[in-house]
């Protein structure tokens, strides 16, 4: 079995049965045995009294700091109920009590994930996605009434029209297109081009579109290249804010690039030797995303497996 990507590998039992029991949830949210992960403006509380870990707090600390946001039930590990809790509304003084000295601090989720174990990075993804979704979906999309949290955060309910609202996950295809000994990599405008990086081509799946169709359309739009066979490789939750990256390899049918000037700063073919040395950070012109990103693993898998074409 392949090792999961960063942000996958969450070990919690999400408690599908338990979270339907409001009384049980209420008791767990006050139990001294439960643990709460504070997020402030979507940054995660970390703790490095020994090695770097998630900064879980207990119910007594939630009460002491007068945190009023509803805790979102993440799941259970070793009999301990785990919740995420949004502390963005705390004033600076109260928030300061969560980070009393240099052993605790709030960290941006990407940097937190790189410092944590795979298991804890998976919990970061779930916590960040949950808190962000609830903050953005407070009102019913059907009738406009204010909704409330149900099943510990797995959904929101409208008290007026009884609609159920479930968290969204946005599918994104990301693809390394190969042609013989070359692979197609692009530099999207914005962050990648400022950093001088190339990466696999990527884009959101449209409504009523298969993964294969999304791959062919995105590659055509961004590079002008026509694609034939598409093969699924692996996937990665990407909590910025709510994507699921669907990693693929594909075969090019054409080679002449006409890249989308508006979206892409550059798209070009790089050969296997370029990719291999760039993956080790030793290429003078080609910089690739690091191992936190699925793109790194898609490029690596293509470069190291010539027979996979
Ligand atoms: Zn409604």
Per-residue tens of pLDDT for the chain, all 309 residues: 778 999 999 999 999 999 999 999 999 999 999 999 999 999 999 999 889 999 999 999 999 999 999 999 999 999 999 999 999 999 989 999 999 988 999 999 999 999 999 999 999 999 999 999 999 999 999 999 999 999 999 999 999 999 999 999 999 999 999 999 999 999 988 876 777 799 999 999 999 999 999 999 999 999 999 999 999 999 999 999 999 999 999 999 999 999 989 999 999 999 999 999 999 999 999 999 999 999 999 999 999 998 654
Count the Cβ atoms, other than its own, within 10 Å of residue 142: 13
Give the pLDDT score at 307: 67
Ligand 1 center from residue 135 Cα (angstroms): 17
| Spacing, Cα 134 to ligand 1 middle (Å) | 15
Distance (angstroms) between ligand 1 centre and the Cα of 145 equals: 5
pTM (two decimals): 0.94
Q: φ and ψ at 308, to 5 degrees?
A: -70, -15
CA 303 → CA 109, 182, 300, 309, distances in Å?
29, 9, 5, 10
Other C-beta atoms closer than 10 Å to the C-beta of 113 total: 23
Distance 138 CA to ligand 1 centre (A): 11
Structure tokens at 173: 């295809």
Q: Please classify residue 49 by burial: count the beta carbons closer than 10 Å to its beta carbon, then call 0-12 exposed, 13-18 middle and 19+ buried.
A: exposed
Q: How far apart are CA 68 and CA 31, in angstroms?
A: 16
Q: Distance between CA 248 and CA 235 in Å, rounded?
A: 9
CA–CA distance, 278 with 287 (Å, rounded to integer): 6
Q: Cα(167) to centroid of ligand 1, in Å?
A: 16
List, in order, residues 6 or more apart from 141 with CB less than 8 Å away.
163, 165
Helices (H), 144-244: 191-195, 211-223
> From the CA atom positions of the chain, what is the Rg in Å?
22
Which of 151, 157, 55, 162 minimizes the C-alpha distance to 101?
A: 55
Between the CA of 306 and the centroid of ligand 1 the distance, in Å, is 54
Residue whose token pair is 């590990």? 77
| Cα–Cα distance, 53 to 104 (Å, whole number) | 10
Q: Give the pLDDT of residue 190.
A: 81
pLDDT number for residue 274: 96
DSSP class per residue in 56-79: -B-HHHHHHTT--SPPEEEEEETT
Cα 43 to ligand 1 centre (Å): 31
Residue 165 Cα to ligand 1 middle (Å): 9
């Amino acid at each position: 079995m392949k090792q999961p990507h960063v942000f996958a590998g969450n070990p919690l039992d999400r408690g599908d049965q338990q979270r339907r029991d409001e009384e049980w949830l209420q008791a767990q949210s006050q139990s001294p045995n439960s643990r709460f992960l504070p997020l402030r403006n979507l940054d995660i509380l970390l703790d490095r009294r020994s090695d770097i870990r998630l900064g879980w707090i207990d119910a007594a600390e939630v009460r002491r700091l007068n945190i009023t946001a509803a805790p979102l039930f993440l799941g259970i590990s070793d009999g301990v109920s785990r919740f995420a809790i949004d502390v963005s509304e705390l004033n600076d003084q109260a928030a300061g009590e969560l980070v009393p000295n240099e052993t605790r601090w709030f960290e941006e989720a990407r940097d937190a994930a790189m410092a944590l174990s795979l298991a804890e990075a998976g919990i970061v993804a779930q916590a960040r996605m949950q808190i962000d979704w609830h903050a953005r979906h407070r009102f019913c999309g059907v009738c406009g009434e204010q909704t409330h949290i149900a099943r510990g955060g797995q959904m929101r309910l409208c008290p007026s029209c009884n609609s159920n609202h479930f968290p969204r996950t946005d599918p994104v295809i990301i693809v390394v297109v190969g042609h013989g000994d070359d692979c197609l990599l692009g530099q999207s405008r914005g962050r990648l081009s400022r950093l001088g990086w190339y990466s696999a081509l990527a884009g959101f799946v449209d409504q009523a579109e298969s993964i294969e169709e999304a791959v062919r359309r995105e590659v055509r739009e961004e590079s002008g290249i026509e694609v034939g066979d598409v093969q699924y490789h692996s996937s990665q939750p990407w909590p910025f804010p709510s994507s699921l990256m669907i990693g693929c390899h594909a075969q090019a049918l054409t080679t002449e690039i006409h890249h989308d000037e508006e979206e892409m700063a550059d798209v070009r073919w790089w050969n296997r030797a370029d990719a291999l040395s760039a993956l080790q950070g030793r290429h003078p012109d080609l910089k690739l995303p690091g191992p936190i990103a699925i793109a790194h693993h898609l490029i690596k898998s293509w470069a190291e497996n010539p027979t996979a074409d």
